[in-house]
Amino acid sequence: MNFCTGERLIGTMERETDNKRQTRNWILTGAAIAFAALAVVVCLLMRPETEALDRFVIRCGNGQSIEVPAWETRTIVIRDGRIVEKATGESGENVIRIENGEAWMEYANCPHGECMRQGRLSAESVRTRPLGTWIVCAPHKVYIEYAGGAQ
């Protein structure tokens, strides 16, 4: 009689342990799925944000600098260290173009025009360009720097 009761009790305990283990497994599986889903959501949210932060910093030669988001389409004219409305071809002029995530020196009347030959600056090109993240017009002290959102 006592023996039988004892056996039944052990059987019940084992079943309870199994149930608990199963519950714990379900919780772990659920947590793993939730974590994976969260990671995907975070990646999706972060990606456009970092791209949106990509920008070009333009230094004009008089200490003034402006930042232009890489996604903007814009022409910036600098004459004698100042941003001006439009190009006139007068001496000391630089015309910077920003389009499709790229920036380049469209026109400059500096002595050698070296800055116009430095190519286009973009998130991709900075890895292979000799000057990296910079376009430099040394005679006019005009600099364009690519600043990535992820940095």
CB 149 within 8 A of CB 51: yes
Distance CA 24, CA 13 (A): 16
Instruction: Choose the stretch contacting Zn ion; rule: CB under 5 A; options: 2-10, 12-20, 75-83, 101-109.
Output: 101-109
Task: For the CB of residue 34, give the shortest distance to Zn ion in the complex, in Å.
Answer: 55
Is 135 an interacting residue with respect to Zn ion (CB under 5 A)? Answer: no
Q: At closest approach, how far in Å is the CB of 111 from Zn ion?
A: 8
Rounded Cα–Cα distance for residues 10 and 15 (Å): 9
Q: State the residue for tokens 């056996």.
A: 7
Minimum gap (Å) between residue 50 Cβ and Zn ion: 31
Does 108 participate in binding Zn ion (rule CB under 5 A)? yes
Please identify, among the stretches 4-12, 18-26, 80-88, 134-142, the one whose residues bind Zn ion according to the rule CB under 5 A. 134-142
Q: Please choose, out of 4-12, 37-45, 70-78, 132-140, the segment that lies near Zn ion by the rule CB under 5 A.
A: 132-140
Q: Pick from 115, 121, 135, 144 the residue near Zn ion by CB under 5 A.
A: 115
Number of residues that bind Zn ion (CB under 5 A): 4
Of the candidates 60, 76, 95, 137, which one interacts with Zn ion according to CB under 5 A? 137
Q: Residue 66: what are its φ and ψ, rounded to 5°?
A: -130, 155
- Our CB check for Zn ion shows the closer of 137 and 144 to be 137
Binding site for Zn ion (CB under 5 A): 108, 110, 115, 137
